[in-house]
Structure 1
Amino acid sequence: MREALLSIDVGTASLRAALVNTKGKILAKNIQKLKLWQTSGIMEQSSDDIYGCLVNSIRKLIEQYHQPVSIKGIGIDATASQVLLNHDLEPLHLPGNPEANILGWMDHRSQPQSLIINKQFESGSGRNAPAKQIPEMCLSKMLWLKQEQPELWSQCGLILDLYDFITWKLTGVITRTPCSKVTCEPKEILKALNINNPELRRGELLSPCSPVPGGLSNASAEATGLPAGTTVATGMVDGLGGSLAALGPIHPEKDNSSLESRLSMVVGTSTIYVASSRSARTIEGVWGPMPSALEGFYHNIVGQSAAGALIEHLLTSHPSYAKALNESKKNHKSIYSYLNTVLKNMAGDTQKLSLLTYDIHLLPYFAGNRCPRMDMSLKGMMTGLSLDQSIDSLALTYLACIQAIALEARHNIERLTQNGYCFSELRPCGGLAKNTLFVQEHVNITGIRAKMPQEPDCMLLAGALLSSVACGTYASLEEAIQAMSQQKETLYPDTSLAAYCDKKYRIYLELYEDQKKYNRMMSGEFRNRKGLT
């Protein structure tokens, strides 16, 4: 009987389960669509739906594999969303939605609370002040719950990060790790905000990659068809899990291959770029430092709230989207592969593809700016618009958006390098990492080469890495990464585009200054009439 690890990846719109061997090869995978309620500023999900999809996915995965398999361990990564449960540990549903009890990672209703927290602690520093808040952070969401939904707050018996919720459902044991968002803020901060309720944050504190006591419960064993007692590892937020899966073998003795010189690039619905260091560095406009699952390291994180989501928004709102989608289906391509081909044809043999956007510029702040500006009130901007409704126009918008996301990454990377980091390689993973054009534009605009993962779906290796340590297949996470995270080709910057990319970056920065100027011009009575500040 073949041995395998079961990796669970819970994203924004789908849950994926995979059987992975101990060398990092995906043997089989299954995808389940998740319920998602999303409007402007709101993102809600259902924990019952997610657990139901998890059970279905595991059963279908084992069924479709067609070979006897022994699951050695189960590992979970999930979005940085929070699950609300009542005092009976049943779903506590959000106002107006009888199904949803999860505040999704991109829920921005706590924008006023994030401003309140920032103002209250603006003169604070060090351990007695929280990091600058945006509404995607758990602290802001908890204060929103207390201030805006006091009845819901009083009914709340437990708040779990989504990955901790899943391990609890699988094992019956409530656990947290040092990276669990609900529990990472000091008590003195919670007391100052009047939201210090220890019951909401209870759970056994375990280190990353630890086996949850007892393993798979009898109830979950019966539901999934797996043996009771199967090892279940503590969970992790999906971005950090993916960053570990993309790192590749770690050789501290070789300067050109050290962990600190690699920047993990986790690109999907949103993006995060994860930097690692031996020292804990506090950097303005950056998330961190936070302890790493890798012993002796800390992470600093930057990124954008909307990347894949922004590309999809711009494509689907274009007049030629339906026509382009039909053409891509005729050619058995994804819409992205089809548009990549359109752009290649537009550039021809005499022009570099990247130059097609010389007069089209985009500021990608459609969902605000997560890092380094940490200002969610900012808006998107675009110049170079025309009446052109052709597929060529759609392709140019697509390319301008990709470049804008890469320019925002350059801005974030610049903030990191100004504070002691020095990167020689990008390590991409996630859905957008499968798009070579997307990665190549990052490489050209940042000037940093990218080492591509051997496993295209390397996000699905995250849970396998965690479970391989928990079940004892590998003695440490470093050993697991050495065996399971492998790379293939390297993408290098096109140095002939350096001057062009520098100019695009300058325009990107000036678009922000222009927006601030326009906001100042329209300040006062006009903005106040719309309830704006």
Structure 2
Amino acid sequence: MAGRDPEPARYYVGVDVGTGSVRAALVDQRGILLAFADQPINQWEPQFNHHEQSSEDIWAACCVVTKKVVQGIDLNQVRGLGFDATCSLVVLDKHFRPLPVNHEGDSRRNIIMWLDHRAVSQVHRINETKHSALQYVGGVMSVEMQAPKLLWLKENLRETCWDQAGHFFDLPDFLSWKATGVTARSLCSLVCKWTYSAEKGWDDSFWKMIGLEDFVADNYGKIGNQVLPPGAPLGNGLTPEAAKDLGLPAGIAVAASLIDAHAGGLGVIGTDVRGHGLACEGQPVTSRLAVICGTSSCHMGISRDPIFVPGVWGPYFSAMVPGFWLNEGGQSVTGKLIDHVVQGHAAFPELQAKAAARCQSVYAYLNSHLDLIKKAQPVGFLTVDLHVWPDFHGNRSPLADLTLKGMVTGLKLSQDLDDLAILYLATVQAIALGTRLIIEAMEAAGHSISTLFLCGGLSKNPLFVQMHADVTGMPVVLSQEVESVLVGAAILGACASGDFTSVQEAMASMSHVGKVVLPRREDKRYYDKKYQVFLKLVEHQKEYAAIMQGD
């Protein structure tokens, strides 16, 4: 009897809108990336701490990359589409046209970016209310969340923006609306950034107390009164207009979206680890911490029951993995800080020239240069008298203190390539030490973590990965597909298509171990000392502030 033809492959498209670019991937049912494309997007910084983007520019970039990744395939095999994006705030009028979020009145710039810190005064007032909703964001709301930004718009752009606004979207929800015409919001965005409760819905008293009672009167129509779990199918799928824009068939399933870091968490936290000798193999999935490290870093831990961690966001129910509570730690700048430190150094032009001559990235060159100068000692020991506190953009977790600044101690007069390499190393170590501080806060509150799962741009840097293993004393798992955020977005599309019965089933089928990086146990004492110094740095910074503010 003749054998049956193999079942045709099933494809899913994941679209990821990061801080500086839009990326798309074509992914199959095993989680293998078959095609990838990226496209830069514009950013504006009209004044310090004001960061803006354009929703039209971002959608156009989504169309470019999606068309690229499906070139040459049978489009009938594309089963679903998933979006993730930064948690930036998109403002549209009642006819879904862009509104300006700036004093210049430029309506193209209708997005307040996630890293925008204009609403410092507003978030301070919100935190002074001590409203019970704040216990779900670690006790202190971040300036990067949406409530302070909305309050800023009401107080500063009343006529040109606030009074004309018809829709305030988190960027991931804007994208799914653009694709389907459905204004339903994802539980992920609303729970994590807008104070929505998966169990109780909106809290009228919170919005009234902070001066945004307008939303209550409107039955939350402008910010979302239909809410769906991530991965749920939206409406009738892709509209004919969006299908034409994206180069995909009309009617394919489109999923309720995720914030970008949460898509990364989804892409790695359910990985099948059998056969790698990891402690977490015999432990529940709650023993895993997903660390998504790019421009900033996010630390995603899940639990069966709610755990309240001071200074760490959450617990958020079903915001990433259905049925689990999520805690989200974070560092406001990580990749951006490393770039800042390296590019601002006097030896940077020399580094650029030498890296270019070797056809290497500046970071690959720095890593090899560190190996050259370390001599017989472990590379991490080069920073024995150079220490960095990494909060150049304030502390998100676990101190939740916007006023903290960066610190470097141990500088010398020399400014050569060796100095640059060692300062780069100390900065990477400081970020890893910050991760250790977050893990300790989570464990003190009731989490039990044994293994780190890293993804995002910085996880491609072997020094960054090894330092996280050494400083935390935990093994680090890297995915087979380095673009885990895109795999996470594709998992959403796969769930919406109905090809998997649950998000958990899709995670297990589409996430695979690529490499395990173990900590160097023999260096533990050194990093314990570095951690002691790290904690002293912030203690001293607070003492300096107290001295300067005293009589």
TM-score relative to the length of structure 2: 0.91
1:6-405 matches, cutoff 5 A: 6-38=13-45, 40-63=48-71, 66-69=72-75, 70-95=77-102, 96=104, 98=106, 99-121=108-130, 131-151=139-159, 152-179=161-188, 180=190, 181-182=193-194, 184=196, 186-196=203-213, 197=215, 198-249=220-271, 256-292=282-318, 293-348=320-375, 350-405=376-431
Aligned length: 521
Aligned-partner SS, 1:329: helix
For 1:107 and 1:182, how far apart are their aligned partners in 2?
Answer: 16
Q: Is the 8 A contact 1:15 1:33 kept in 2?
A: yes
Q: Is the 8 A contact 2:466 2:517 kept in 1?
A: yes
1:409-448 matches, cutoff 5 A: 409-448=435-474
Aligned-partner SS, 1:158: strand
Q: CA separation of 1:247/1:254 partners in 2, compared to 1, >3 Å: closer, same or farther?
A: closer
For 1:29 and 1:240, how far apart are their aligned partners in 2?
Answer: 20
**1:204-256 C-alpha deviation (Å, 9 max, x unpaired):** 32222111011111111122221111111011001111011011346999873
**1:6-30 C-alpha deviation (Å, 9 max, x unpaired):** 0001100000011001101000110
1:463-502 matches, cutoff 5 A: 463-502=489-528
Query: 187-196 or 404-413, which moves further after superposition?
Result: 187-196
Q: CA separation of 1:407/1:256 partners in 2, compared to 1, >3 Å: closer, same or farther?
A: same
For 1:148 and 1:254, how far apart are their aligned partners in 2?
Answer: 50
Aligned-partner SS, 1:42: coil
How far did residue 182 of structure 1 move?
A: 3.7
Query: 13-22 or 448-457, which moves further after superposition?
Result: 448-457
Aligned-partner SS, 2:549: coil
For 2:141 and 2:489, how far apart are their aligned partners in 1?
Answer: 29
For 2:385 and 2:105, how far apart are their aligned partners in 1?
Answer: 45
**1:342-400 C-alpha deviation (Å, 9 max, x unpaired):** 0000113x111000011110010100000111111111010111222211111111101
- Structure 2: give runs of 5+ residues left out of the alignment: 1-7, 197-201
**1:397-436 C-alpha deviation (Å, 9 max, x unpaired):** 1101000001111111100011111111100000001111
Aligned-partner SS, 2:527: helix
Q: CA separation of 1:458/1:251 partners in 2, compared to 1, >3 Å: closer, same or farther?
A: closer
The amino acid that maps onto 1:344 is D
- Structure 1: give runs of 5+ residues left out of the alignment: 526-533
Aligned-partner SS, 2:187: coil
> Which residue does the alignment assign to 1:517?
543
Q: Is the 8 A contact 2:392 2:405 kept in 1?
A: yes
**1:123-150 C-alpha deviation (Å, 9 max, x unpaired):** x588799941121011111222222332
Q: CA separation of 1:356/1:251 partners in 2, compared to 1, >3 Å: closer, same or farther?
A: closer
CA RMSD of superposed structures (Å): 2.0
Aligned-partner SS, 1:301: strand
How far did residue 491 of structure 1 move?
A: 1.1
After TM superposition, what 4+ stretches of structure 1 lie above 4 angstroms from structure 2? 124-131, 250-255
Query: 206-215 or 1-10, which moves further after superposition?
Result: 1-10
Query: 325-334 or 16-25, which moves further after superposition?
Result: 325-334
Q: CA separation of 1:367/1:221 partners in 2, compared to 1, >3 Å: closer, same or farther?
A: same
Q: What percent identity do the matched residue pairs reach?
A: 37
The amino acid that maps onto 2:245 is A
Q: Is the 8 A contact 1:251 1:257 kept in 2?
A: no
> Which residue does the alignment assign to 1:530?
none
**1:463-506 C-alpha deviation (Å, 9 max, x unpaired):** 11111111011111111011110003211111121111111111
